[in-house]
Structure 1
């Protein structure tokens, strides 16, 4: 799985979740990956099991690191938006639309971060 773009717009939470789902493919198919990586007795002499296991491990490690970077990047982006909105809110306490937008962004950071995707 290729690493996601560093310019991902994290505002669309559904899109963010879909990207994470796609990036989890290697984890979701781990049984299949192991079955195709570890040779059966009849193929033991034809495939270097040690090398293929190392390659699978490397793929898993890269996928996990890529997802972690994506999640941390989106947390940082959303936190920055929250900070900006908080400053705007201090200047305009009566603006209900601004308050609603601030609460929406705060919810993204605090309650809806998909930690289970690590």
Structure 2
């Protein structure tokens, strides 16, 4: 099965950014679903919180795996260009672009780490609260 991330051109940062943003929006939608499925105490209906939390965790895991694979593939492809052509003066523009891409991808990884930490906090807080009640 070919994922959509496999079709991303790692040298086109607009395309890369579009896919990363799409994955982050999917993660936001999943957290929104969690908030809808596990409402506050005043709106509480009898639902299986464990099943809901397990499903949400599974979906988040799949999205994160795809995003992680995209980061790894694009880092590898750009590193390969830098290593292959770093001594070739005729390819210096290509090397500069690949280095710029590497910086941007690493910056996006840092942002991604923050997004994941925030999402995990929400997930743990909501699911733990439901388990206690």
Place the TM-score, normalised by the shorter chain, in its bin.
Answer: 0.7 to 0.9
Residue 19 of structure 1: how far off its partner (Å): 0.4
Is this contact kept in 1: 2:81–2:98, CA < 8 A? yes
Within 5 Å, give how 1:43-58 maps onto structure 2.
43-44=45-46, 47-58=47-58
The match for 1:107 among 100, 112, 119 is 100
Which segments of structure 1 move beyond 4 Å, counting only runs of 4 or more?
none
Query: Per the alignment, do residues 16 and 106 of structure 1 end up closer, same or farther by CA in structure 2, a change over 3 Å counting?
Result: same
RMSD over aligned Cα atoms: 2.1
Residue 104 of structure 1: how far off its partner (Å): 1.3
- Does the alignment pair 1:68 with 2:68? yes
Which residues of structure 2 form unaligned runs of 5+? 114-133
Partners of 1:108 and 1:17 lie apart in 2 by 11
Is this contact kept in 2: 1:78–1:105, CA < 8 A? yes
Query: Per the alignment, do residues 80 and 17 of structure 1 end up closer, same or farther by CA in structure 2, a change over 3 Å counting?
Result: same
TM-score w.r.t. length of structure 1: 0.76
Secondary structure of 1:24's aligned partner: helix
- From the two aligned structures, give the one with the greater helix fraction: 2
Find the counterpart in structure 2 of residue 84 from structure 1: 84
Partners of 1:27 and 1:35 lie apart in 2 by 13
Secondary structure of 1:29's aligned partner: helix
Which residues of structure 1 form unaligned runs of 5+? none
Partners of 2:82 and 2:32 lie apart in 1 by 42
The higher radius of gyration belongs to 1
TM-score w.r.t. length of structure 2: 0.68
